[in-house]
Amino acid sequence: MKIAVDAMGGDNAPQVIIEGVEQARDLYPDLEFDLYGNPDKVKPLIKNNDRLNMIATTEEISMGEEPVRAIRRKKDSSIVRAATAVKDGKADAFFSAGNTGAILAAGLFIVGRIKGIDRPGLTSILPIAQPGANRHNFVYLDTGANAESKEKNLEQYAYLGKFYAENVLGVANPRIALLNNGAEEDKGDKLHKEVWQILNSKDDLNFVGNVEAGDLLFGKADVIVSDGWTANAALKATEGTAKMMMTLIKHGILHGGLRAKLGYLMLKPTFHQIGQKMSASTYGGAVLLGLKAPVVKTHGSSDALAVKNTISQIRTMLKTGVIEKTVEFFDNTENLDNSNKNE
Amino acid sequence: MKIAVDAMGGDNAPQVIIEGVEQARDLYPDLEFDLYGNPDKVKPLIKNNDRLNMIATTEEISMGEEPVRAIRRKKDSSIVRAATAVKDGKADAFFSAGNTGAILAAGLFIVGRIKGIDRPGLTSILPIAQPGANRHNFVYLDTGANAESKEKNLEQYAYLGKFYAENVLGVANPRIALLNNGAEEDKGDKLHKEVWQILNSKDDLNFVGNVEAGDLLFGKADVIVSDGWTANAALKATEGTAKMMMTLIKHGILHGGLRAKLGYLMLKPTFHQIGQKMSASTYGGAVLLGLKAPVVKTHGSSDALAVKNTISQIRTMLKTGVIEKTVEFFDNTENLDNSNKNE
């Protein structure tokens, strides 16, 4: 299995990208990597060339660039070249920590959608933080690939999330929920009311109803489906609040005198556990689900551990054939609502 | 100044309502209260009748009831009677910890909107948690009175929030921001792009641009304006994450042995401070802004402190004449966009 790696994307690239890739390479003998980037910058960082191929590119897409224009114009950028390799069957998956919009655009316009999928959904794996919960994480989409969504999109996200949870997370009969502004069937705007009815009508979905944004991390479902606008706001609020709580604790310790500092030393293992549980690095990257191959991105600020974990996630996607199973499902017209297909 | 109190609403009513009201009464010699409720339940709880008048009602609206039907049918409920007293000028403000939907409906249909206001916005006062910030809280609306909003509604929320911040929080020239999915001017769906342009065009608004949901508590603005759907999701995610972080810390302490318990004792003042900063009780209740009088609700789970703080907030609204100033502004047609007025 070969992964096409954008070696130039991310705040700490190429350093942490190469570190993480080498860690994953040492861990998984069945993986091979093509590293797309500037050889002058990348090659000196490589410790061991085993199963790492350097592929020279001359352009870079920076974090602030307008995505669609960037991938159209910078044909020799690491993102465009790596995505093209996947499209041409020269690699099995795409990995980057770079410009999110450019990765989404490269996935959509170069790697391409699965037949029958209208709009791929950006998918995060988030922690189930509730102590004592049976499972440690859940599937959450669309976290922001699309600012405006239709009923059909959310229906497709439910199936994309279901296949991911079954195959990659190993959840049997995953519980599917809809993010909404209340628990009851009749909550939400027109879109969410209709999606509730559609999901509830499907015999092949274990639909458990609505979940509110306040319950995201509480383990009420294995897949939480949402339009990209709402999921994005709730995800950012969740991340921002967790960050703020950690800031407040640190500030309290720094300004709490000797007593607080001693308390911190004693509670260090607890804080470490919480930090790990709530950290994005622990659960891998965000997957643009609905494409013909794994296209996965990590935070721009990712460290080598996050890179390694994300590559491990890509490997599981490849080994379990989650995308092939998704393709097969959407290829079978009987699995799809006819009223939706004819739109 | 007289406040009409729904003594029956809330998980711990009438007990904590009466406690909180008596605390506020003892603190503020200029306040008087009419307590609407079942005298058999309320009277035995009253310690001192000074400036407390019991007004007997025979019905209650429970937490689960369909709001609009409930306020139409239960004419002798504590919510309907208290709201009617405000409408009839027998009281200056309405307070309840009961069924949110019923309170909103009573505010809208009984107390009534300010002339020129299309849709009142549910307004929360949230903490600016960022250590070292100049201010301790900000105004956030609409947190969920309306699931679907138009440009005009968000424009009006900006002014409602501005008047509230100036008068009740005492902020000179408050910074107004728009909750959006990115910082740049061109971010968001059609609604948010247009609202950005409208707010940016107003000379009498200190518009500071977009704020993302991850930055809610970071003090980037004094008023954050949003459609009710998005603000509600981001608020619930914020509250849920703060709660989850506290749960994880408690769990870590309980299962961390003697070391963790000692650490907890030493960090207790820090945790207490954080808990207080992040607690809804600290900042008062949610105001349905855009009505002819203060209509304010606290969480159903409020304690006496939250009730007392919310009454203090209502008193500030009354003393500063924030509603009269809002009425005056919306009465002056020149202050409003003509294209909006003619819709």
* A225 contacts on B by Cβ (under 8 Å): none
Yes or no: say if A256 and B267 are a contact pair by the CB < 8 Å rule.
yes
A·B CB contacts under 8 A? 183
Domain boundaries, chain A: 1-117+290-343, 119-283
Q: Which of A144, A214, A239 sits opposite B240 (nearest CB)?
A: A214
Chain B, window 45-74: residues with a beta carbon less than 8 angstroms from a chain A beta carbon: none
Superfamily of chain region B1-117+290-343: Isopropylmalate Dehydrogenase (3.40.718.10)
Please tell me if residue A75 touches chain B, with a CB cutoff of 8 Å: no
CA distance A145 to A304: 25
Would you call B321 an interface residue with chain A, using a CB distance cutoff of 8 Å? Answer: no
Which residue of A213, A248, A278 is in closest CB contact with B240?
A: A213
pLDDT at B342 over 80: no
Residue with tokens 């709402």: A230
State residue A225 phi and psi, 5-degree precision.
-100, 140
Residue in B213, B236, B252 closest to A240 by CB: B213
**With an 8 Å Cβ cutoff, are A232 and B181 in contact?**
yes
Residues of B within 8 A of A270 (CB-CB) are 249, 252-253, 256, 260, 263
How far is B128 from chain A, CA to nearest CA, in Å? 10
What is the per-residue pLDDT for A336?
60
Helix locations, chain A, DSSP H: 15-27, 39-42, 67-73, 78-87, 100-106, 151-167, 190-200, 228-254, 257-278, 304-320, 322-331, 338-341
Cβ of A237 and B242 within 8 Å?
A: no
Q: Does A280 touch chain B (CB under 8 A)?
A: no
User: Chain A closest CA to B327's CA: distance in Å?
Assistant: 30
**% residues pLDDT > 90 (chain A):** 89
pLDDT attached to residue A313:
96
Q: Average pLDDT, whole number, for chain A?
A: 94
CB-based contact A203:A167 (threshold 8 Å): no
For A102-121, the DSSP string reads HHHHHIIIII-BPTT-SS-E
Helix, strand, coil percentages in chain B from 3-state DSSP, rounded to 5: 50, 15, 35
Domains A1-117+290-343 and A119-283 share a fold: yes
Cis peptide before A142 (omega within 30 of 0): yes
Residue A280 has pLDDT above 70, yes or no: yes
Q: How far apart are CA A300 and CA A210, in angstroms?
A: 32
Residue B235, min C-alpha distance to chain A (Å) = 8
Candidate from A324-338, B229-243, B287-301, B317-331 with smallest mean pLDDT: A324-338
Contact call for B214 and A239, based on CB within 8 A: yes
Contacts of A138 in chain B (CB under 8 A): none
Å between A17 CA and nearest CA of chain B: 26
Q: How confident is the model at residue A339 (pLDDT cuts 50, 70, 90)?
A: very low
Residues of A in contact with B249 (CB under 8 A): 270, 274
Residues 6+ apart with CB under 8 A from B49: none
CATH number for the domain running over A119-283: 3.40.718.10
What is this model's ipTM?
0.92
| Mean pLDDT on B34-54 | 97
Rounded Cα distance, B205 and B208, in Å? 9
Using the Cβ of A241 and the Cβ atoms of chain B, whether some distance falls under 8 Å is answered with yes
User: Rg of chain B over CA atoms, in angstroms?
Assistant: 21
- Split at pLDDT 50, 70, 90, the class of B311 is very high
Please check whether residue B254 touches A, CB under 8 A. Answer: no
Q: Which of A143, A191, A248 to probe by mutation at the B interface, max B CB count within 10 Å?
A: A248
Question: CA separation (Å) from A123 to A67, A205, B117?
Answer: 19, 18, 40
The pLDDT, as a whole number, for residue B133 is 86
In chain B, the residue whose alpha carbon lies closest to the alpha carbon of A250 is B270
Identify the pLDDT of residue A131: 87
Question: Shortest Cα distance from A39 to chain B (angstroms)?
Answer: 34
Model confidence at B339: pLDDT above 60: no
* DSSP states along B14-30: THHHHHHHHHHHHH-TT
Residue for token digits 């304010």? B296
The rounded distance, in Å, linking the Cα atoms of A233 and B140 is 15
B118-287: CATH topology: Isopropylmalate Dehydrogenase (3.40.718)
pLDDT grade, residue A287 (50/70/90)?
very high
| B244:A148 CB<8 A | no
d(CA A86, CA A291): 11
Among B164, B190, B196, which Cα is nearest to B177's? B196
Model confidence pLDDT, tens digit, residues A64-114: 899 999 999 999 999 999 999 999 999 999 999 999 999 999 999 999 999
- For residues A218 and A140, the answer to whether their CB atoms sit within 8 Å is no
Whether residue B217 lies within 8 A of chain A, CB to CB, comes out as yes
Record the tokens describing residue A334, joined without a space. 């009987």
Mutation target vs B (from A148, A270, A274, A277; most B CBs, 10 A cutoff): A270
To the nearest whole Å, the CA of B132 is away from the closest chain A CA by 10
Is residue A142 within 8 A of residue A231, CB to CB? The reply is yes
Cβ–Cβ contact A182 with B under 8 A: no
State the first-to-last Cα distance of chain B, in angstroms, to the nearest integer: 37
Poorest-pLDDT segment among A297-301, A330-334, B104-108, B284-288: A330-334
Please judge whether B241 and A237 are an interchain contact, meaning their C-beta atoms are less than 8 angstroms apart.
yes
Residue B5 has pLDDT above 80, yes or no: yes
Report the residue of A244, A258, A299 to disrupt the B interface, i.e. the one with the largest count of B CBs within 10 Å.
A244
**Ramachandran region, residue A199 (left: φ > 0; alpha: ψ -120 to 50; beta: rest):** alpha
The Cα-based distances of A110 to A68, A71, B105, B126, B173 in angstroms read 11, 9, 51, 44, 49
Which DSSP state fits B114?
Answer: P
Which pLDDT does position B87 carry in this prediction? 98
- Determine, for residues B213 and A229 on separate chains, whether the beta-carbon distance falls below 8 Å: no
Interface membership of A265 toward B (CB under 8 Å)? yes
Predicted pLDDT of residue A190: 93
Query: Which residue from B minimizes the CA distance to A236?
Result: B214
Enclosing H/E stretch for A6:
strand A2-6
* Residue B134: predicted pLDDT: 83
CA A142 – CA A186 distance, rounded (Å): 22
Residue A94 forms beta bridges with which residues? Answer: A4, A295
Nearest CA in chain A to B180: A233
Characterize the bridge pairing of strands A286-289 and A175-179. unpaired
Residue A174: cis peptide before it, omega within 30 degrees of 0: no
